Amino acid sequence: PKSAVVGKTWSELNISSALMEYQDAQRELVLQSGSEIKRETPFPTSQGIRHYKYILSPLTNEVGEIDAVISCVQDVTARDALK
């Protein structure tokens, strides 16, 4: 269920830090630059390799300062299988 992952960190979800170091670096880049990042990546799961599209976007407060980064992720494995 969504409640099992929403608002959790990578370590709270027991995802290998080695896999997430790149994601953490991209999040820092968004925080520093204020620019959105869009990428696709393969990711190992218990069902094998899945392919994900993700967007990292800055969230700003009322004075335009970046307070956080939001991540939206979509499983595109089925789409990639059709290629």
* Residues 16, 36: Cα–Cα separation, whole Å: 24
Q: Give the pLDDT band (50/70/90) at residue 20.
A: confident
What pLDDT score does 21 carry? 86
What pLDDT score does 31 carry? 95
The pLDDT tens digits for 22-70 are: 888 999 999 999 999 999 988 888 888 999 999 999 999 999 999 999 9
Q: pTM for the complete prediction?
A: 0.74
> Could you give phi then psi for residue 38, rounded to 5 degrees?
-125, 130
